[in-house]
Structure 1
Amino acid sequence: MTDVQTPLTPAREKSLNRLKRVEGQVRGIARMIEDDRYCIDVLTQLSAVKSALAAVEGEILKDHASHCVTHAIESGDAGDQKAKLDELIGLLAKHYRL
Structure 2
Amino acid sequence: MSTDTDATSTAAAHTDGADSCEEQGHTHGYSGDKARLQARLKRIEGQVRGLARMIDEDKYCIDILTQVSATTSGLENVALALLEDHLAHCVVDAARAGSADEKVTEAADAIRRLVKS
**Normalising TM by the smaller chain, what interval?**
0.7 to 0.9
Give the match for residue 12 of structure 2: none
Give the match for residue 112 of structure 2: 93
Q: In structure 1, the residue corresponding to 2:54 is in which secondary structure?
A: helix
- When Rg is computed on C-alpha atoms for both structures, the one with the higher figure is 1
Contact map agreement 1:11 1:59 (CA 8 A) in 2:
no
* Whole-angstrom distance in 2 between the partners of 1:53 and 1:94: 13
2:61 maps to 1:39: yes
Q: Which of residues 15, 36, 53 is equivalent to 2:75?
A: 53
What residue ranges of structure 2 are gaps of 5+ in the alignment? Answer: 1-26
Contact map agreement 1:32 1:42 (CA 8 A) in 2:
yes
Q: In structure 2, the residue corresponding to 1:9 is in which secondary structure?
A: helix
Give the number of aligned pairs: 88
What residue ranges of structure 1 are gaps of 5+ in the alignment? Answer: 1-5
Q: After superposition, what is the alpha-carbon deviation per residue over 1:42-91, rounded to whole angstroms, capped at 9, x for unaligned?
A: 11111100111111111101111111111101122x3xx11101111222
* TM-score (ref. length: structure 1): 0.80
Give the match for residue 3 of structure 1: none
The Cα of 1:23 is off from its aligned counterpart by 0.2
* Whole-angstrom distance in 1 between the partners of 2:94 and 2:63: 46
CA RMSD of aligned residues (A): 1.8
2:36 maps to 1:17: no
Structure number with higher relative contact order (C-alpha < 8 Å, ≥ 6 residues apart) = 2
* TM-score (ref. length: structure 2): 0.68
* Whole-angstrom distance in 2 between the partners of 1:11 and 1:64: 12
